[in-house]
Amino acid sequence: MSQSPEQILKSVFGFPAFRGRQEEVIHHVVAGGSGLLVMPTGGGKSLCYQVPALALPGVAVVVSPLIALMQDQVTALRQLGVRAAAINSAMEFADLVAAENALRAGELDLVYVAPERLLTDRFLALLDELRVALFAIDEAHCVSQWGHDFRPEYRQLELLATRYPAVPRLALTATADEPTRADIVERLALRPDDVFIAGFDRPNIRYLIAPKDNARTQILNFIKGEHAGQSGIVYCLSRQAVEETSVWLNQQGIESLPYHAGLDRAVRAANQDRFLKEDAMVMTATIAFGMGIDKPDVRFVAHMDLPKSLEAYYQETGRAGRDGLPAEAFLVYGTKDIAKIRQFTENSGAPEAQKRIERQKLDALIGFCESASCRRQILLSYFGENHHEPCGNCDTCLNPPAVFDGTVAAQKLMSCVYRTDQMFGAGHVIDVLLGGNTERIRKFGHDTVSTYGIGKEHDRREWQSFVRQLVAQNLLTVDIAGHGGLHLGPGARAVLKGERQVMLRHDPAAKKAKSAKAKRTSAVVAEADESLFGALRACRAALAREQGVPPYVIFHDSTLAAMAADRPTDKYGFALLPGVGGAKLERYAEAFLAVINDHVSA
């Protein structure tokens, strides 16, 4: 054994310390142990097999189903001076032969293969002749039928335990609930004691959720306000919305590309490639985009429409901030979205048991959106983790909404819906409550109903918020098959009879618009370092273009941010930056030191 894990961490990866459970897992594997590691996206799973791969003699075999990702990983490792290769069906024949020869000659530290290739007699025979350091089984939930992405060929990985009993096997996944974990342990013949579960929390992601007012304007303000010049993803529900939103963003001066399953394969690949390689590209996409994207510097994920469930929301927002720097998840949601999903569930023709689960998932999602307490606490408790302290990094923590006894307001709203015959949408009902003088009110004689003008203590915006909250609580329902008319929901009677209290919160959106400018805590660098940071990014972009690689494989934003703050003047100082190992010091110190020097002396 040449170097210790700690030495490798510093000399190759340039990181000063392990994170979370990395150290424990790495020592376990280096000592010959096998196991399952469950760690959220961005938690640093790759290091858990890459460091042992370098610490142990022989080649580490990394099994991954995502061929598109392999090349990324290999590119990043080569930048670090690590001898790595992929072997898969997407490669040119000549490259394939070269990689196999290197493997046979013992010249590789890591080799990435798809499971179906690993399991061929030919490949196994080749492995039999080699010294294998360890097997890393990435996306291990694919082994299990309970996981969300079952792949039959993963089942056959069982044979690794019997064929190579002395070689450590490390299974890794970001998402596995209890039954899935048990299944992985059994299928890969691991010991139940060797399951390492890191917390789900992604503390650097700030969760922001707002009622839909004008989704486009809200998203635009969000991007322009905090995220100009940064990479991000905007999720839309439909392909058409993706196309239109992307065009619109470009018109507004925000460079954006569309991505959805209806686009030509080549177009999708090209757009994805540009998103990875450029520093400030916004991908406007359906949820078809994201699986297997591990760009570390995605600074925001915005949802124009409600996601399918909290699981989906967590997975989609998890694509932000993998590099550990501040990132934001922004969601706007509207009453119509909620009604649409409800309707869809009810009319789906699914068995009742299935519908019940869907309803529960929707309720959890709405509860999350409408909540007045810490978003992170709700999210994490949904995944079975209880955090006792509010996080301080979500909208409700930063800007707590006031909750009040809204029974009277709810009663007024519901009786107004009732008095106007449960036929009208929120706009008209609110007009009646506010005592408006519209053509419709005159036409239907609604200025004579008992609820006319009884709601003047709240303004329109507040009433709209109350409607949304009552819909969320299922006290009002929206007839979207008709014309969006409001109906009384199942619990309405009890409220009208005064048997049930309704808690409402004041919508903080109006207030927030004014105070938002004040703090800018989600910035990646201090204001004084911004121009140097920009120059460093330009230098990185030029180097990346020269080599045809994504900028983040040269240095992450976190390294550039440290560079802009510390401003090293020589190689010794440069070597101390996080993310600068031996290979990168040799290759890049000179170029970046020149940028710093120019900047400081200018």
Chain positions contacting ligand ADP, by CB under 6 A: 15, 18-19, 22, 39, 41-47, 294, 296, 322-324, 556
The minimum distance between CB 86 and ligand ADP, in angstroms, equals: 16
* Binding partner at 391 among ligand ADP, Zn ion, none, C-beta below 5 to 8 Å by kind: Zn ion
User: Using CB distances below 5 to 8 A depending on partner kind, what does residue 330 bind out of Zn ion, ligand ADP, none?
Assistant: none
The per-residue DSSP string of 95-154 comes to HHHHHHHHHHTT--SEEEE-HHHHTSHHHHHHHHTS-EEEEEESSGGGG-TTSSS--HHH
Note whether 567 and 577 are within 8 A (CB).
no
From Zn ion, ligand ADP, none, which one binds at residue 321 (CB under 5 to 8 Å depending on kind)? none
State in angstroms the smallest separation of the CB of 453 from Zn ion.
39
Residue 374, interface with Zn ion (CB under 5 A)?
Answer: yes
List the one residue out of 348, 369, 356 whose CA is nearest residue 472: 369
Within 10 Å of residue 131's Cβ, how many Cβ atoms? 11
394 binds Zn ion (CB under 5 A): yes
Nearer to ligand ADP, 39 or 137 (CB): 39
Which residue, 14 or 489, has its beta carbon nearer to ligand ADP? 14
CA distances from 103 to 2, 99, 130, 194 (A): 20, 6, 8, 30
CA distance 376 to 392: 9
d(CA 253, CA 63): 42
> What is the C-alpha separation between 445 and 442, in angstroms, rounded?
5
Q: Which is nearer to ligand ADP, 18 or 275 (CB)?
A: 18
- The residue whose two tokens read 């342990």 is 185
- Structural contact between residues 74 and 111, judged by C-beta atoms closer than 8 angstroms: no
Q: Computed over its alpha carbons, how large is the radius of gyration of the chain?
A: 27
Query: To the nearest whole angstrom, how small is the minimum distance from the Cβ of residue 107 to ligand ADP?
Result: 24
| Residue nearer to Zn ion on the CB measure, 75 or 399 | 399
Nearer Cβ to Zn ion, position 69 or 374?
374
Q: Which range, of 138-146, 264-272, 388-396, 464-472, touches Zn ion by CB under 5 A?
A: 388-396
How far apart are the C-alpha atoms of 148 and 597, rounded to whole Å?
51
Site for Zn ion (CB under 5 A): which residue of 47, 276, 293, 397?
A: 397
Which of ligand ADP, Zn ion, none interacts with 157 (beta carbon under 5 to 8 A by kind)?
none
Binding-site partner at residue 394 among Zn ion, ligand ADP, none, CB < 5 to 8 Å by type: Zn ion
Query: Least separation, in Å, of the C-beta of 473 and Zn ion?
Result: 22
Pick one of ligand ADP, Zn ion, none as the site partner of residue 335 (Cβ within 5 to 8 A by kind).
none
**Nearest alpha carbon to residue 59 among 49, 69, 67:** 49
Judged by beta carbon, residue 169 or residue 375, the one nearer Zn ion is: 375
* Partner from ligand ADP, Zn ion, none binding residue 446, C-beta < 5-8 Å depending on class: none
| Residue 418, SS3 per DSSP | helix
**Closest to ligand ADP by CB, 5 or 489:** 5
The C-alpha atoms of residue 345 and residue 313 are separated, in whole angstroms, by 18
User: According to CB under 5 A, which one of 260, 376, 428, 446 is a site residue for Zn ion?
Assistant: 376
What are the φ and ψ backbone dihedral angles of 514, each rounded to 5 degrees? -75, -40
Pick what 545 binds: Zn ion, ligand ADP, none; C-beta below 5 to 8 Å, kind-dependent: none
Smallest separation (angstroms) from Zn ion to the CB of 205: 11
| Cα separations in angstroms, 370 against 93, 256, 559 | 55, 30, 38
Residue-wise DSSP of 501-529: --EEE--THHHHHHHTTT--TT-SS-GGG
List interacting residues with Zn ion (CB under 5 A).
374, 376, 390-391, 394, 397
